[in-house]
Structure 1
């Protein structure tokens, strides 16, 4: 098979994908998902996240297929462009998660001033801290341990995964659900005292 035939095949695949041909999507996935996964893995350093990004790339490619212009080399370059955007999104998500954990840990670690300790609890005084401490104690395992490792020991998701032996996705899920539970409980308590 000549290089020219390969190029036409790529163009045909791109045109078919753009026109909504699911068979073309399957072929595009088969041929370029290893490349997309490699780029994501190199940037993120975690297989689980690279797998998630790879899936997101091909979902995004299908949804935005109308933007693809079928030319000789457009399809792989277009997929790599989508991959870079998805990797950037994931890195931004990591940074936001780290900032939330750092902020919560800083609030938890700093001692309350006399004014905060005596003030009504609307700004996160002693009642908030007592409620949070009790709620964390009442959480089941492994969620309790995961939250404590994140907030008290300031560990990253990957470090918590290594320490607990749990998959990274499980650690993230427990952390996210635990934070949602704690936030909801605080809102309920604050509403009662309002």
Structure 2
């Protein structure tokens, strides 16, 4: 049996990374950054986004190293999992940015200026969208179904397979949170 290649990832490196050894981080970056970058580039379709995801993956991995358990998974698999999440986050962010630009273009007058009641409505919708994003999950999804899909509490409960009482509680707390946030925002104007 041939000895492992010098660049092969080992259980010792798993343990060193979990223990906070910066040399293990550097070795992980050296070995896995090309894979992370390739996965991100193929998924996102652009090099700049792939560069950002690659950096984000290793920042997340290092910051959350205390949650890495070498007995449950090897570091390469753990990093690929983080990569998938970072790619999904980047795609979601890109979609939100695109929607914001499209909404702003729709609100623009034919001469290219933005203003009037359509712009106010757009600003309110963008503000609400951002606030719903801040709520997290499942609150954000519940509130979107209530606001945008006009579903009843019972319909939301069935669609998300959550108890009715849980849906009602999330809606009540989310509305209180939104009220506090929006009152603070309007006081700033």
Cα distance, 1:106 vs structure 2: 1.0
For residues 130-150 of structure 1, give each alpha carbon's deviation from its aligned partner in whole angstroms, at most 9, with x where no partner exists: xxxxxxxxxxxxxxxxxxxxx
Q: Distance in 2 between matches of 1:94 and 1:122?
A: 24
Residue 158 of structure 1 is matched in structure 2 by none
The aligned counterpart of 2:36 is: 36
CA deviations over 1:7-51 (Å, ceiling 9, x no partner) = 7x5211111111110011001111111111111111011111101
Unaligned runs of 5+ in 2: 122-188
Is the alpha carbon distance of 1:106 and 1:6 closer, same or farther for their aligned partners in structure 2, counting shifts above 3 Å?
Answer: closer
CA distance in 1, matches of 2:17, 2:120: 53
Q: How does 1:57-72 map to 2 (within 5 A)?
A: 57-71=57-71
RMSD of aligned alpha carbons: 3.4
- The offset of 1:84, in angstroms, is 0.6
1:181-192 to 2 correspondence within 5 Å?
Answer: none
The number of equivalent residue pairs is 120
Contact 2:14 2:70 in 1 (8 A): yes
Task: Provide the rounded CA distance (Å) in 1 between the counterparts of 2:42 and 2:119.
Answer: 43
Specify the alignment match of 1:149 in structure 2.
Answer: none
Q: Within 5 Å, which residues of 2 pair with 1:17-36?
A: 17-36=17-36
Aligned residues of 2:107 and 2:119 also touching (Cα < 8 A): no
Rate the CA distance shift 1:123–1:87 in 2: closer, same or farther, 3 A. closer
Output the TM-score relative to the length of structure 2: 0.54
Contact 1:10 1:72 in 2 (8 A): no
Correspondence for 1:2: 3
Question: Which residue number in structure 1 is paired with residue 50 of structure 2?
Answer: 50
Aligned to 1:102: 102
For residues 78 and 33 of structure 1, what CA distance do their matches in structure 2 show? 13
- TM normalised by structure 1 equals 0.53
Structure 1 stretches of 4+ moved >2 Å:
1-7, 121-125
- Alpha-carbon distance between aligned partners in 2 of 1:123 and 1:93, rounded to the nearest angstrom: 22
Larger Rg: 1
Change beyond 3 A, Cα 1:123–1:101: closer
Distance 1:73 1:85 in 2: 17
